[in-house]
Chains A and B, each alone.
Chain A
Amino acid sequence: MTTLLSAEGLHKSFGKTSALDGAGIAIREGEVVAIMGPSGSGKSTLLHCLAGILPPDSGTVTYRGQDLTAMTDNARSELRRTEFGFVFQFGQLVPELTCLENVALPLRLSGMKRKDAERASRDWMERLEVDTVADQRPGETSGGQGQRVAVARALVTAPKVVFADEPTGALDSLNGERVMHLLTTAARETGAAVVLVTHEARVAAYSDREVVVRDGRSRDVEFVR
């Protein structure tokens, strides 16, 4: 399998606190990788650097041969919008928009006509079993439904990589499992890689392999494929 996204020698500090201390990782096409580690180990910082959200102090992040750290902010934003999808723990949906409009948002931002964007979004909402809340606002849905709407929004642009930072962190076990099952099934069907940050082993068990981050350094614990 070809390496899609990789990072080498990442260092990142916030003030005097070092979050990453030489972390590296390689994500191959279509694989689901869980990044695990204790609180404060640097796993979310690693995800944010990989996704081009945070610039590392030093080290490189390479996506399909392009160095993300050398790109302009605009080029990185464009890359994030077209190639990456994101699912976070909280607060990712726009409260004023309906769930359907939320899912359609990345397509609309890319210039797609409303009708086409909403048609594609409805398909994804059906796959994620949230088509029943299409016309409701995020505040009117349950936590599990909201996360599945967020997963639909992350997948609607057919991204190559989905970044998921504690996507089940605010959900009970049953809803968390449903989100993970639907997210990984959809990603495997579409060939998207998933980079999943979680502290829950049952969530990580949906992945193909695990990378452990401790004290800002990452370590591959197991390659399954």
Chain B
Amino acid sequence: MVCIVLLMSIGHALLGLLEGGPRHGYDLKRAYDERFGQDRPLHYGQVYSTLSRLLKNGLVSEAGVEAGDGPERKRYAITDAGVTDVERWLGTPEKPEPYLQNTLYAKVVLALLSGRSATEVLDTQRAAHLRAMRDLTRRKVDGDLADQLICDFALFHLEADLRWLELTAARLDALAEEVAR
């Protein structure tokens, strides 16, 4: 199964989840894993270290202790500063990544410079990309709407790579001439 890396601030995600009401660490981890964890569930250590950072920065506060069957569990609540922080985060666009210094481009150029087959490099990559896309498509077909949206995000990015691979394959002769100069 393809691993989907959610490039997201865990702190902001936890703050966002706390906007629904105070929770303890275990509950937060469960909520995070259910919504965003997919193949990468949070470690307990990550949850507690993030919560202690948020606490130190005044974005969450302790909201009592929950008694249960096991050990007592501290509950956390979002503060006004925390709400402001979530609002700022949601309203700030993520930096679009231009991927200018691409490894694939370097591989193609180095293959051409060394007299190796750049077509082979492109085709090998193409097969790997399509294999990943098939895995995602199967996962999407079997999954719920959240799975579909997450997989679609990855699929559109992989498709963009594939279009570049195809275009580069069509321009290899011209590129070979240019790198030979």
Task: Render A133-174 as a binary contact track against B, CB cut-off 8 A, 1 for contact.
Answer: 000000000000000000000000000000000000000000
Instruction: Compute how far the CA of A10 lies from the CA of B64 in the bound complex, rounded to whole angstroms.
Output: 77
Chain B neighbourhood of A212, CB < 8 A? 123, 126
- A204 closest partner in B (C-beta): B130
CB neighbours of B127 from chain A (8 A) = 210, 221-222
Instruction: Please tell me if the beta carbons of B158 and A38 are within 8 angstroms of each other in the complex.
Output: no
Report Cα–Cα, A57/B155, bound state, in Å.
39
Is the CB of A63 closer than 8 A to any CB of chain B? no
Whether the Cβ atoms of A202 and B155 lie closer than 8 Å is yes
B134, B136, B162, B169 interface centre (most CB from chain A within 10 Å): B134
Residue of A nearest to B119 (CB): A214
Provide the B119-140 mask, 1 if CB < 8 A to any CB of A, else 0.
Answer: 0000100110111011011000
A181 CA to B156 CA, complexed, in Å: 17
Partner of A205, one of B133, B163, B166, B169: B133
In the complex, are the beta carbons of A221 and B130 less than 8 A apart?
yes
The A-B contact count (CB < 8 A) is: 44
Task: Specify which chain B residues have a CB less than 8 angstroms from the CB of A222 in the assembled complex.
Answer: 127, 130-131
Contacting A at CB under 8 A, from B157-177, are: 158-159, 162-163, 166, 169-170
Known: A38-B166, A214-B169. A181 touches B141 (CB 8 A): yes
A200 — nearest CB in chain B belongs to which residue?
A: B159
Q: Which residue on B lies nearest to A220, using beta carbons? A: B127
A202–B141 contact, CB under 8 A? no
* CB proximity of A112 to chain B, nearest CB, Å: 33
User: Which of A201, A210, A221 is B158 in contact with, Cβ under 8 Å?
Assistant: A201
Chain A residues lying within 8 Å of B170, measured Cβ to Cβ, are 38
Residues A201 and B123 in contact, CB atoms below 8 Å apart = no
Does A224 interact with chain B (Cβ within 8 Å)?
yes
Chain A residues with CB below 8 A from B137, complex form: 202, 205-206
Q: Tell me which residues across on chain B come within 8 A of A208, comparing CB atoms.
A: 134
CB distance from B128 to the nearest CB of A (A): 9
Check B134 against A201 for contact (C-beta < 8 Å).
no
Whether A202 and B123, one on each chain, are in contact in the complex, defined by CB atoms closer than 8 angstroms, is: no
A27 vs B170: C-alpha distance in the bound complex, in angstroms? 27
Set of chain A residues within 8 Å of B136, measured between Cβ atoms: 205
Between-chain CB contacts (< 8 Å), 18 pairs:
A38-B166, A38-B170, A181-B141, A202-B133, A202-B137, A202-B155, A205-B130, A205-B137, A205-B155, A206-B134, A206-B137, A210-B127, A214-B169, A219-B123, A221-B123, A222-B127, A222-B130, A224-B134
List 8 additional contacts besides A200-B159, A222-B127; criterion CB under 8 Å.
Answer: A38-B170, A201-B159, A205-B134, A206-B134, A206-B137, A207-B134, A214-B169, A221-B130
The 6 closest A-B pairs by CB, nearest first: A205-B133, A205-B137, A222-B127, A201-B162, A201-B159, A221-B127
Question: A: which residues have CB within 8 A of B?
Answer: 38, 181, 185, 200-202, 204-208, 210, 212, 214, 219, 221-222, 224
